[in-house]
């Protein structure tokens, strides 16, 4: 079933990279609209959250509308919407960047659960991967291949002992995203912070909205939330970037040291490769293998 929110939700905070305060309100939307951002500070300029609207920017995902309006660092919100199975929403924002909040998608997921979800009758349209597609850049790679579910495999390898080599595999059916990935925070190496700020990035970053590491040390108070929080966050980012396909993907994504740009390049190759993917009505037998909220029951209701 196609879904939207039962009522609007609003969150406020500063952007991670530009540091500007932002208010974001996610509203119910008509069936079939998809996810659309509106810059309310720019005359409600509309920006569809789609892969071909992505402008390559380091360390973030930014989408640009036809009039040049843009919104950046959308990946955590997009991951929360995809992970909760929200297919249609209008995201109204009064700044050029989505607030970073605590650095994870957990605040967005909590707000979505509180707002509630409406399920509409009719078949859910999905992208079904039919042939493997892969892109590589140096020692990084991203791949999509056929599967009867939405699955993510990821592997990272950092020189800092506080991160090191981590890998994880998940099928993202039911409430898996909220349970396994939503609370994983963005992270960085202390050695990279000065370079990022010199480039006009990470201006809103703090030890409270990112996990900062230096060699074997974790500098952020409280340390990691999970032993493998870093790879979980990379999986969260990947889901948010894959959500720019415009519909859920039935397929297995495998990322090795992959980032935002590589996942977007993978989507571009997927849609440019004849016979690699097809837009279909999802068979009822496969719906349980797609991300969606199943609890609490009060948060989800159907409409005629």
Q: What are phi and psi of 202, to 5 degrees?
A: 60, 25
Let me know how long the chain is: 304
- Contact (CB, 8 A) for 138 and 259: no
DSSP string, 35-52: EEEEEGGGTSEEEE--GG
Q: What are phi and psi of 77, to 5 degrees?
A: -65, -45
User: What CA–CA distance (Å, rounded) separates 177 from 84?
Assistant: 7
Residue 145 corresponds to which tokens in the numbers above? 């291949």
- Contact (CB, 8 A) for 127 and 149: no
∠ CA 224-225-230, nearest 5°, is 60
Catalytic residue among 76, 87, 233, 260: 260
User: What CA–CA distance (Å, rounded) separates 266 from 264?
Assistant: 5
147 Cβ contact partners less than 8 Å away, ≥ 6 residues apart: 129, 250, 251, 252
260 a catalytic residue: yes
User: What CA–CA distance (Å, rounded) separates 82 from 235?
Assistant: 13
Residue 258: Cβ within 10 Å count: 26
- Contact (CB, 8 A) for 130 and 277: yes
Residue 81: Cβ within 10 Å count: 28
For residue 112, give the H/E element and its range: helix 106-115
Edge to edge, what strands does the sheet with 62-64 contain?
A: 54-55, 62-64, 70-72
- Contact (CB, 8 A) for 239 and 79: yes
Residues designated as active site:
260
């Amino acid at each position: 079933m196609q879904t939207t929110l039962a009522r609007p939700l609003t969150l406020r905070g500063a952007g991670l990279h530009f540091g500007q305060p932002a208010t974001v309100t996610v509203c119910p939307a008509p069936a079939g609209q998809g996810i659309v951002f509106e810059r309310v500070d720019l005359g409600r300029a509309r920006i569809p959250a789609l892969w071909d609207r992505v402008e390559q920017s380091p360390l973030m995902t930014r989408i640009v509308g036809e009039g040049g309006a843009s919104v950046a660092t959308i990946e955590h919100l997009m991951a929360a919407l995809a992970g909760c199975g929200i297919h249609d929403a209008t995201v109204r924002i009064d700044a050029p960047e989505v607030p970073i909040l605590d650095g994870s998608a957990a605040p967005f997921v909590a707000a979505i659960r509180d707002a509630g979800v409406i399920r509409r009758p009719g078949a859910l349209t999905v992208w079904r991967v039919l042939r493997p597609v892969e892109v590589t850049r140096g020692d990084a790679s991203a791949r999509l291949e056929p599967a009867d579910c939405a699955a993510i495999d990821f592997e990272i390898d950092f020189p800092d002992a506080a991160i090191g080599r981590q890998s994880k595999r998940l099928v993202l059916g039911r409430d898996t995203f909220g349970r396994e990935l939503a609370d994983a925070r963005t992270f960085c190496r202390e050695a990279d912070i000065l370079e990022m700020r010199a480039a006009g990035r990470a201006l809103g970053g703090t030890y409270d909205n990112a996990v900062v590491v230096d060699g074997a040390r974790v500098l952020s108070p409280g340390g990691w939330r999970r032993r493998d929080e870093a790879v979980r966050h990379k999986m969260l980012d990947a889901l948010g970037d894959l959500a720019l396909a415009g519909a859920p993907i039935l397929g297995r994504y495998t990322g090795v040291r992959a980032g935002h740009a590589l996942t977007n390049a993978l989507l571009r190759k997927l849609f440019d490769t004849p016979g690699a993917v097809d837009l279909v009505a999802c068979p009822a037998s496969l719906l349980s293998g797609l991300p969606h909220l199943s609890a609490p029951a009060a948060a989800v209701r159907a409409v005629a």
